[in-house]
Every structure is written in C-alpha cells, then in structure tokens.
Amino acid sequence: MKIDAAIVGIGASPFGRFLPESQLGLMAKAFKAALADAGLERSDIDGLSTHMGSPLGVDYDRVAEAFGLDIRYVNQSWLHGRFVTNALQHAALAVSAGLADVVACVTGISFTRERDLLGGPGDMEGMREEGGTHGEAPTYGLTAPAGGAALSMQRYMHLYGGTSEKLAAVPMQIRQHALLNPDAFMKEPLTLEKHQASRMVVDPLRLYDCCLMTDGAVVLLVTTTERARDLKQKPVRIAGMQGIRSGRDEFIFAPPGLGINQQPATGIRAKPVDQEIYARSGIDRGAVKGLYTYDAFAPLPLFVLERFGFCGAGEALDFVQGGTIGPGGSLPLNTHGGLLSEAHVAGWNHLREMVRQLRGQAGPRQIADADVLQWATCWGDSVLLAA
Amino acid sequence: MSQPTGLPPKPRPRLDGPERPFWLGLREREIRVQRCTACGHRRFPASRFCPECHSDAFAWEAVGATGTVETFCVFHKAYFPGFLGEMPYAVVQVRLDDGPRFFSNLVGTRPADIRPGQRVTAVFEDLDAEATVLKFKLIEGDAA
C-alpha cells in the first residue's frame, strides 16, 4: 500500500500555564479552528488518532462523545511524546487504506494540572520493575525524563568534549525563532549569561535546557491527496515516513551507540535501515529546508542531527555553533520555538508549524522556498512533509 | 541506612518479581545476574530468553563487584522528598567489569568529585530487614 495522505487542516488553542480551561475545552477550540482552516464540517471527521489520553490529555471515546462525532477508525497509543508521529502515521495509513476519510489527530494536554506525573511519587510508570522508560531507577533517585537526558549528555561530553556553554547554542537559537512567533510562551531573548545563570535541574541540564510545562491543544486533519485538492488550503503532502526504532540499540534519550543503560557503546549512530526514509521517499537529506524535532531537552536535537546523518558522531555540538539552526541558518530547527520556547503540545505544535511553513503562512519566520521539511526524533522515527 | 528524622522513606525496590534472585543475592553480599548457559552472555534486568542467542536456559550467578563509572547526573530537584536530606545527589551509571550496567549512587564521594572513568566497587546497603540495595564506592588509589 502506498501512502497517499495530506494534512489539510490545522488548529490550536492558546498556549499557556495554568489555563482555566480543561484539556477537553482546549481541544474544542483547536478542533473548531482546524475544521474552519480546512473548510470541513464536523460530520466529515470519521477517524481519530491520539497518543495523549487521560490523565494528561483526553481519551478518544470522550473526544468522540463530547464533539458529537461518528467515528469508524481509532488509534490511541501510549501516553508519551515519543508517539507523536506514530499517531500521525496511523492517520496517514488509515486514509491510505480507506479505513477513514478524514482522521483528526487530537491532542489537548495540561502539564500544569498534571505536573506530578513526571518524576517522583506521582510517576507510577517510573516504578516499572525492570527500570522506567527513561531509565528510571527510583530507589537510587533516578526519576523524571530529565534524568535520562542528563546521563546521556554527560557521557556525550565525556566522549566528545563539550560544555554547558556550547550546549546553550541549542536553546538560544530555538528562542530566537520563538521571538518571531506571537504564539510562543517565551517572549524574552535568551542570552548566554542568562542561560549560564539559570539553576541546574539535573546537572548538566540547566533550567533553559529543559522544555516548558504548559497547557494547550493542537488538532491536525489528515485525508487523501485526492480529497485534499478540493479543500480550502494548499495541501501538505506526507512525502515519506519511518517508524519508531526499538530494541537493544535504543535508549529513549540517547542516540544509538552512546552506551546508556544496556545500550551497546559502539559509537555507530545509524544502520542504513535507520535512514531509510530518504531512499524510500526519493527525497535526499540535502533537500530538507528545515528540521523539526522533539526538543524536550537541549541535547536531543544534537542526537537527532547525528542519527539522521546531518553530521557525524560527536560532531553535533560543533555543528550547531554559529547560528546554523537559528533564523536564517543553513538548517533552521524548530522555527516556532519548539517545546523549549513555544509550548509543550507534545510535538503537535511542531507539526502545525511545518504545515504553516509549507503553506507559506509563517510570517516573519518563513523559511525561503520551504518545499520539504523533516520531522525526526532521537528515537528514530521521521516524517517528511512536502508542499 | 536509616533516613534522617522527619523525612519520608526513599522508594523501596520490589523484591517479589523476576529480579528476586538479584535482591536475595544482595542480602548475601553478592551481585547475581542471569548468565545464559547456552552462550554465556550475562544480562540484567531479568528476561526469560537470552537477547543474544534466544536460549531459555539460564542461571543466576554472582559476578565480580568491580566496575567503572561511565556517566552520572546530579539532581538539584527533590522529586522524591526522601532525598531532601542529601541534595544535591548524584546518580551514576556503572558498568561492571563482568558486563551488565547498573544505575546507582556513589557512597562517600561528593557529586563535584565524580568523573566518568573512575573505578568503583560494590557497597551493599541494608535498607531494613528485607531489602538491600546495590551502591558503589571509589576504589582508593585507582587512577580515574
């Protein structure tokens, strides 16, 4: 089966902290906005895809009931950010296979209401007996996603050199993008001095190396390319995709080969199959005009640059110096401000931005000639979107 | 080691699951991991089949107590109130000379003095009459 899918509608709620609306209330705003954007009616939606169920978000059945939908295809996966493009990929697969005509990818989450989920006594999943999914070992105080990311960055700096000052290049450039985006929660420039003066959360990660914990909703509508041609907006085609990698080579917040947890320390970032998206889509890496990634922590974009071959193993910290990933750089990254500076809508805010860029609706942060953009993650999945 | 007065206990390990032989081993001052009796691969945490050769034949056997610090991080946020008495505290990743890795803490070393490459040996710390946890300490005089 060939993938034949396009994103035809995007909608978002306001983003913020301690917003008065429930997750469902936020999602309703995003849902209405997405329908209006696409020129579709509520009755056109017959598929739902989500990974952000209760308690952080809203389960599919509640969405269908509350919005009065008649749904014939549902995908609801694991309540983790890592499943963002998995949920989009399921939508693409479903419309390509004719299991649904229009799938709404629905995310409405509140990290400020549910802030006890991430680390500490409220993190039931982190108590998983054989170790949590970010390496959690609560007996020894290893808890919260930041712990796993910090262990990876410390080892990376030990093997390849690097400092907190050099790492600051990632959040500083992402902040520069955010300053061009009126939706971004962070409104002030991030200087090196400010970064270095910020408190350590889990050393070597400082406050500004860790993403925002916000409330917000984003809805994306996916249908076939044929149907997309008749709708209101210029369609954004799903031009390529590859799934999440899993196995002994993988630790969620490390690139392959770094040697975190039980991961082998080979230094090899990717097998050919881990970069199959380029060959399968017929789009070269060099054609990518902007890169989007799950920037929960400042080191993660570095690991993505290496595992997808934008630079070699151990080279990413040098690669990002000098404005490479900032506004006007050779590879702009997270041009809306990402999880670090726009908001944490689990990566759906990144996909929304990719669509705006490919439609040419990104205003002062528009990437010139944006025709191909890539989403890629530290855990190896990827989606290429094309105008 | 008992907690300072007024602090809640730290999270306790589960002793009744697939890792039970490991926890029983710590009571007896041994680090026991699964060894595949078909290919010899040592593994932890517990799994039914060897990830190398897929054999289901294994034995829980003691491995050597020495290893190397591969990486570490330092918590400045007390997610668990049980750690409030020792902020900031470090978590280390130790690779045993015999293979498996463990997340743990270093006893007797300040976070600022921890470096990847340091040589360590096991410390068996009794939490109470049933639970013992695996910690490590620096091997004196061993070059980092």
Segment A51-103, tens digit of pLDDT = 999 999 999 999 999 999 999 999 999 999 999 999 999 999 999 999 999 99
Question: In B, what residues contact A, Cβ < 8 A?
Answer: 10-14, 17-19, 43-46, 51, 70-77, 79-81, 83, 88-89, 91, 93, 100-101, 103-105, 111, 116-117, 133, 135
B-contacting residues in A 158-197 (Cβ below 8 Å)? 158
**Considering only CA atoms, which of A231, A1, A276, A224 is closest in space to residue A92?**
A224
* DSSP H helical ranges for B53-111: none
- Is the model's pLDDT at B143 over the cut of 80? no
Residues of A in contact with B18 (CB under 8 A): 129-130
Q: What tens digit of pLDDT does each residue of A268-302 get?
A: 999 999 999 999 999 999 999 999 999 999 999 99
pLDDT digits (tens, 9 = 90+) for A143-162: 999 999 999 999 999 999 99
| pLDDT tens digits along A219-251 | 999 999 999 999 999 999 999 999 999 998 999
A-chain CB neighbours of B133 within 8 Å are 139-140
Q: Mutating which of B75, B101, B136 best tests the A interface, going by the most A Cβ atoms within 10 A?
A: B75
Q: How high is the pLDDT of residue B6?
A: 82
Judge contact between A177 and A327, C-beta under 8 A: yes
Q: Per-residue pLDDT tens for B62-112?
A: 999 999 999 999 999 999 999 999 999 999 999 999 999 999 999 999 999
CB contacts of A133 in chain B (<8 Å) are none
Check B103 against A137: CB less than 8 A apart: yes
Predicted pLDDT at B142 = 62
Handedness of CA A140, A143, A146, A148 (dihedral sign): positive
How many residue pairs bridge chain A and chain B with CB atoms within 8 Å of each other?
105
Please indicate if any CB of chain B lies within 8 Å of the CB of A140.
Answer: yes
What is the reported pTM? 0.96
Q: Does a cis peptide bond (omega within 30 degrees of 0) precede residue B88? A: yes
**Which candidate in B1, B96, B103, B113 is best for mutational testing of the A interface (most A CBs within 10 A)?**
B103
Cβ distance A135 to B103 less than 8 Å, yes or no, reads yes
Kindly state the average pLDDT of the residues B1-18: 83
Nearest CA in chain B to A199: B76
- Inter-chain touch B103–A202, beta carbons under 8 Å: no
A36–B contact, CB cutoff 8 A: no
In this prediction, residue A115 has a pLDDT band, given cuts at 50, 70 and 90, of: confident
Look at residue B26 in the predicted model and tell me its pLDDT: 98
With CA atoms as reference, report the closest residue to A91 among A304, A241, A275.
Answer: A241
Q: Which of A138, A203, A261 is facing B11, going by the closest CB pair?
A: A138
Res A129: pLDDT: 81
| Domains contained in chain A, CATH given | 1-118+213-233 (3.40.47.10), 132-211+237-387 (3.40.47.10)
B30 Cβ contact list (under 8 Å, min separation 6):
B62
Asked if A129 lies within 8 A of B89 by C-beta distance, the reply is no
Cα A257 from Cα A263, distance rounded (Å): 7
CB contact under 8 A, A151 and B17: no
Query: How distant is the Cα of A251 from the closest Cα of chain B, in angstroms?
Result: 13
Interface contact flag, B80 A120, Cβ < 8 Å: yes
Three-state secondary structure string covering chain B: CCCCCCCCCCCCCCCCCCCHHHHHHHHCCCEEEEEECCCCCEECCCCCCCCCCCCCCEEEEEECCEEEEEEEEEECCCCCHHHHHHCCEEEEEEEECCCCEEEECECCCCHHHCCCCCEEEEEEEECCCCCEEEEEEECCCCCC
Residues from chain B that touch A246, judged by Cβ atoms under 8 A, are none
Residue A361: which region, alpha, beta or left (left: phi > 0; alpha: psi -120 to 50)?
A: alpha
Which residues numbered 85-104 in A keep a CB inside 8 Å of some CB on B?
none
Confidence of residue B141 (pLDDT cuts 50, 70, 90): confident
